[in-house]
Chains A and B, each alone.
Chain A
Amino acid sequence: MNCQDFEAIVNDLARDQLVLVADRARALVHTETCARCAARLADERMLTAELRALAASSEPLEASAAVEEALLRAFRRQKAASAAVAARGRAWVGAAAVGALAAAMLILLAVTIPALRRNGPPEPKPAEGFRETKPPRKQRIEVAEAPVMDDLTAADEEAEAPQLLPIDLSVGLLNTASDVFVPLHYGETLSDLDGDRVVRIELPYSALMSLGVSMDEDPGNDGVEADLLLGDDGLAHAIRLVR
């Protein structure tokens, strides 16, 4: 070991820090041959002793009791404040939950009420084994004029159930294979439904009644085949009965 290497570890040697055993041994051997480095190590050890004496002299020194009391008061204040904040937080969460529930209900009502108004009564589900047919895109579907409320005749107004469209099975739609569709809703114009989907379904008699179609004769247990004209919204807008 030379003097430069010794200088690099002299502080650690003097301060009793961890030094590799081999390095420590070489350093001590070096001090036996180099008086300058030996004096350097002695000076460093003296300085270490002086610093440790200074540390020992101040060992009993510590902050006064007033600091502890002040900090204890601060700790209790913070604890109380945290508890208050937590209580406020719990109250806020409760209020927020109630508010969120109310908002959700309002949104639900806002969404469902217009939909119910637009759709009217629920449509019957198509019977099993329904067949779907799609007319040619350009095919024009002839539709019957919708019985608009304003155009109702006095005779119509005298009808007990104006929502029901009387159909004479013997001469009516059921006997025809025509392309005439009957609108399902009063006041609805079907001209804009040109080229839309037509779905053939088999309906029980009760379902036909719920659609507002009355029949003069009981079809028995057999279902009634009908074509439904579906709009862009996927809802049935007109019906055509087929035998």
Chain B
Amino acid sequence: MTTPSDDELLQLMFAGDEDAFLTLYRRRQGPIYRFALHMSGSPSIAEEVTQEVFLALLRDGRQYNPMRGSLAAYMYGVARHHVLRCLEANQPYVPISQEASPEGQESSAREPAAPGDILADLTRHERIEATRRAVLSLPPNYREVVVLCDLQELSYAEAAAALSCAIGTVRSRLHRARALVAERVTSLLKDSARSRAASPPAKAARCFV
């Protein structure tokens, strides 16, 4: 038995098939949530956006035209619209590192490493965190192409459909956005190294027992 496509699930959902709706939701909610999370830096906004995207699909899903792009691209487009609206309403956003993660959703980057890999793990975690902050610091029009193309691994064509722009625009924005991310990551890592060097070494405590 072949796995039903997104479009087939959507049609079944319109016909009132609850299982089809659940299947479509469980297939697509993760990418939509992560897109909103990387765009906003806020798990609560990401949840709100995810809910809004699927509510919009229930309400206005018949407006989706397969000739204009995939259902995933359509949903990313709806998510982008809601994220930008939330960002406008909730400026300044709360970065991920300052907001508690949802229960049971600890990032793998925060999992304890093996004792021998502590230093490597700290370095990796530091770079990931710097990259996350660098992406979040981008202007929205650059941030969305990085999130879609590099983090969500959409093709240029899918990203263009989601953003309602030309493929050439996606390519040029991505080129510029990656350069900005690289600059920002380098800067953040240098700042981090400087702050470590500037912090006083821990004093040895003598025990006067």
Residues on A facing B (Cβ under 8 Å): 11, 15, 43-44, 47-48, 50-64, 66-68, 70-72, 74-76, 78-79, 82
A–B complex contacts, Cβ < 8 Å, 30 sampled? A11-B175, A11-B178, A15-B150, A50-B127, A50-B128, A50-B130, A50-B131, A52-B150, A53-B124, A53-B128, A53-B131, A54-B128, A54-B151, A55-B34, A57-B128, A58-B37, A61-B43, A62-B29, A62-B30, A62-B34, A63-B29, A63-B33, A63-B46, A63-B51, A71-B58, A72-B22, A74-B58, A75-B58, A76-B18, A78-B59
List residues of B (150-209) whose CB comes within 8 Å of A's CBs.
150-153, 171, 174-175, 178, 181-182, 185
Residue B109, interface by CB 8 Å: yes
Select one of A44, A51, A64 contacting B151, CB under 8 A.
A51
The answer on a CB contact under 8 Å between A64 and B102 is yes
Taking a contact as CB atoms under 8 Å apart, the answer to whether B58 and A54 are in contact is no
Quick check: B132 and A47 within 8 Å, CB to CB? Answer: no
Residue B93 CB within 8 A of the other chain: no
Asked if B151 and A61 make an inter-chain contact with CB atoms under 8 angstroms apart, the answer reads no
How many pairs, one residue from A and one from B, have CB atoms within 8 Å of each other in the complex? 112
CB-CB < 8 A to B46: which residues of A? 63
> Are B185 and A47 interface neighbours, CB within 8 A?
yes
Given B107, B130, B149, which contacts A60 in the complex, CB threshold below 8 Å? B107
Q: Which residues of B contact A48 (CB under 8 A)?
A: 150
In this complex, the interface size class of chain B, counting residues with CB under 8 Å from chain A, is 35 or more
A51 close to B131 (CB less than 8 A): yes
Instruction: Report whether A61 and B181 are in contact in the complex, using a CB–CB cutoff of 8 Å.
Output: no
Q: Are B181 and A51 in contact (CB under 8 A)?
A: yes
Q: By CB atoms of chain B within 10 A, which of A15, A63, A76, A79 has the most?
A: A63
Q: Does B142 contact A (CB under 8 A)?
A: no
Chain B residues with CB under 8 Å of chain A are 13, 16, 18, 21-22, 25-26, 29-30, 32-34, 37-38, 43, 46-47, 50-51, 54-55, 58-59, 102-103, 105, 107-109, 124, 127-128, 130-132, 135, 146, 149-153, 171, 174-175, 178, 181-182, 185
Q: Separation in Å of the A233 CB from the closest CB of chain B?
A: 56
Q: How far is the CB of B13 from chain A (nearest CB, A)?
A: 8
Looking at the complex, which one of B38, B105, B108, B132 makes contact with A56 (CB distance below 8 Å)? B108
- Whether the Cβ atoms of A63 and B50 lie closer than 8 Å is yes
Beyond A11-B178, A62-B30, A78-B59, 4 additional pairs, beta carbon < 8 A: A54-B131, A54-B132, A58-B107, A61-B37
